[in-house]
Chain A
Amino acid sequence: MTFEQIMFYVLAAAAVGSALMVVLQRNPIISALYLILNFFCLAGIYLTLHAQFIAIIQILVYAGAIMVLFVFVIMLLNLGDAQALKAKLTWQRMLAVVLVFGLLMEIVYLFTMPEATTAVLDVDRSIRIGEVEHIGTQLFTKFLFPFEITSVLLTAAIVGAIFLAKKKLD
């Protein structure tokens, strides 16, 4: 077992564990913290795939910005334990569990196909394509149009978020 393999399995276990914690926790703050942990684990896994840029972006954007936003909102709404809700075991809950289990089975079936099991990672190539310069080049040449549109999208999101969240001045 190489170092890489050990790292991967440890990080994978942590990711799954923290994901479970996110869903099962009652307190939203604790959930948020577990989610941050999950993102960090994912960033590590990206690194095992030699996707440097994505790993950094994951930490910067997801863990650094989005989760901060989440935590802010949770604290703004002052939810805490007082908002703890009793979880009823309704038929919806059971159905949901059944459904996801079934879905898992199917996806597992799909992902254990031969093409997926015999693929080999070309290290050099993946290092090369994971470099910041390479991705940057692609973004500004082949994917320029989506890149610009994304900026419009972000502007729209900003405007929308501000508009929705502001106090109505009557």
Chain B
Amino acid sequence: MIPMNHYLLLSAVMFIIGAAGVMTRRNAIIVFMSIELMLNSVNLTLVAYSAFLGDVTGQVLVFFVMAVAASEAAVGLAIIIALFRRKQTVNLDEINLLKW
């Protein structure tokens, strides 16, 4: 049997990779994908706990996380499209109107 901390470690590694992607990449879409990666790692943790503790609440929560992630992806991509229309770029370094 697979001990629980294996699942948790896997989730941690995926989360870290996603965080690194968010902080490092300059392409906005790649950043979004990294965010999805992070969300998925959290999903994995929730499902693992749900299975090991025998409580279904974790899986229901995952269900909702997925729903929210879907809508968030939709809106986020719409924003990127609107931004692209404005500035013809998705390079995050150039989207800095809030600069001092």
Contacts and interface: CB of A to CB of B under 8 A. Distances in A.
Please classify how large the interface on chain B is, using the bins under 10, 10 to 19, 20 to 34, 35 or more: 35 or more
B12 A108 contact: yes
Interface in B38-66: 40, 43-44, 47-48, 50-57, 59-60, 62-64, 66
Given A38-B37, A99-B23, A138-B60, A12 B10 contact: yes
Interface in B57-79: 57, 59-60, 62-64, 66-75, 77-79
Contact of A22 (B13, B21, B48, B80): B21
Interface string A70-111: 100110110100010101000011001101110110011001
A107 B16 contact: yes
A7 B37 CA distance: 21
Nearest to B38: A19
A69 B74 contact: yes
B36 A153 contact: no
A16 B44 contact: no
Given A57-B63, A66-B69, A161-B78, A15 B5 contact: no
7 contacts: A51-B50, A69-B73, A70-B29, A77-B84, A85-B27, A121-B2, A138-B60
Q: Report the 4 A-B pairs with minimum CB-CB distance, sorted nearest first.
A: A157-B71, A23-B21, A96-B23, A164-B78
Given A35-B36, A165-B81, 8 more contacts: A22-B21, A69-B77, A92-B24, A111-B5, A119-B4, A121-B1, A129-B50, A160-B78
Interface of B: 1-10, 12-21, 23-27, 29-30, 32-34, 36-37, 40, 43-44, 47-48, 50-57, 59-60, 62-64, 66-75, 77-82, 84-85, 90-91
